[in-house]
Amino acid sequence: MCIWRNSSYELDTFAPYLLHKLAIVEIPLHVLASYVVIFKTPSRMASVKWMMPFLTFCSAFLDLFIAVFSTQYYLVPIVGGYMRGVFTDIGISTDIQGHVFITSMCIVGMSILGFFESRYNTVVKGNRENIFKAKGRLFYMGMHYLYALMFTLPLFYNQPDQMEGRKFVKRTLPCVPESIIDDPDFHLWLEEPMLYAIHYGLTALVISLEVIYYFVHTALFLSSTKAKSQKTHKLQVQFFIALTIQIAIPLFIVIFPIAYLITAFITLHFDQMYNNIALNFIAMHGVASSSVMLIVHKPYRDAVVELLRLRVIWTKCRWRSGNAVGDASLMVVSSIVNIQRDRRASNRI
């Protein structure tokens, strides 16, 4: 099915119009989140000292990549499209940008997996050593990140001839204006979208099953009485709940648009308005992740409140110092006037 409404929501200008404005909010929020995570993480959260800033960086990069550097415009279910953004302006090819986009999403998924794997080893296994000192864990997570960096590389091989590919897209999507398909930056990776959907769907399924495994086993352990002390158990439960909320809310924001895109590949359904909306929702992941993180974790929440209070106190101090200077200036002026008045009176006498 091919649907084209001749609406502004279907054009390649729709995403930049929204996402460039969103970047105005994203940049200061991510800077604040990064500062708080790096400098305000307490010692009791040492087990996630490295994972927390890494997840924050990955989410922020994905947000800014879509919003500023490479705004995506894909003609799903065709594995083709082009980008608009800073990377296009400086001459980076659509092929490379597509690889970075998909890889960034996969690395965010791996960082979420790393979070729950870390909690599982810390809480259930009682292994509190750094992952960089644990060879088995380092190999396990290293292979996952290596796969995330390389699993899109098959798309670089056996790509169709681009002139023939454009003819294929015009036959497959007859409702799409030819000016879009004939765009100089338009690139077609595959002519068979089903392979693309199966490959990415299986990857998402495997990562999800691993996350579910670590989550369930950690939750079951914390629901038992195996903790060494009541205080330790309480802190572990609170942190695990906060971590779950931090991961779950942004995940729910992006899981539906990703599910729609995969469904569109499988059913060969084309509706560019929904394609644009789905891709724009993915750009909300980092904003949601950073915002929820600063709210649900008490040390970070207290740090933000402290920063805001310092700003208020600084403003009050400046206001009070300004008033004090004004009062002192008024007293000096009044003294000068009184002295001159006394001199005039003495001269008259």
Residue 45 confidence (pLDDT): 74
Residue 292 confidence (pLDDT): 87
Residue 310 confidence (pLDDT): 61
Residue 127 confidence (pLDDT): 65
Residue 271 confidence (pLDDT): 92
How do the domains of the chain map onto residue ranges? 2-296, 298-348
Residue 225 confidence (pLDDT): 62
SS3 call for 298: helix
Residue 4 confidence (pLDDT): 92
Residue 20 confidence (pLDDT): 80
In 3D space, the residue among 188, 194, 200 whose CA is nearest the CA of residue 94 turns out to be 188
Radius of gyration of the chain, Cα coordinates, nearest whole angstrom: 28
Residue 210 confidence (pLDDT): 92
**305: buried, middle or exposed (CB in 10 Å: 19+, 13-18, 0-12)?**
exposed
Residue 347 confidence (pLDDT): 42
CATH number assigned to the domain covering 2-296: 1.20.1070.10
* CB neighbour list of residue 124: distance below 8 Å, 6 or more residues apart: 217, 218, 221
Tens of pLDDT along the chain (349 residues) come to: 888 998 888 988 888 888 888 888 888 888 888 888 888 888 777 767 777 888 888 888 888 888 889 988 989 888 888 988 889 889 888 888 888 888 888 888 888 888 888 888 888 877 655 566 677 888 888 899 999 888 887 767 778 888 998 999 999 899 999 999 999 989 888 777 677 777 777 888 888 899 989 989 888 888 876 555 677 777 778 888 888 888 888 888 888 888 888 888 888 889 999 999 888 888 888 888 888 888 888 888 888 888 877 655 545 555 555 444 444 444 544 554 454 455 454 444 3
Residue 132 confidence (pLDDT): 60
Distance CA 246, CA 109 (A): 14
Question: Helices (H) and strands (E) in the chain — how many of each?
Answer: 12, 5
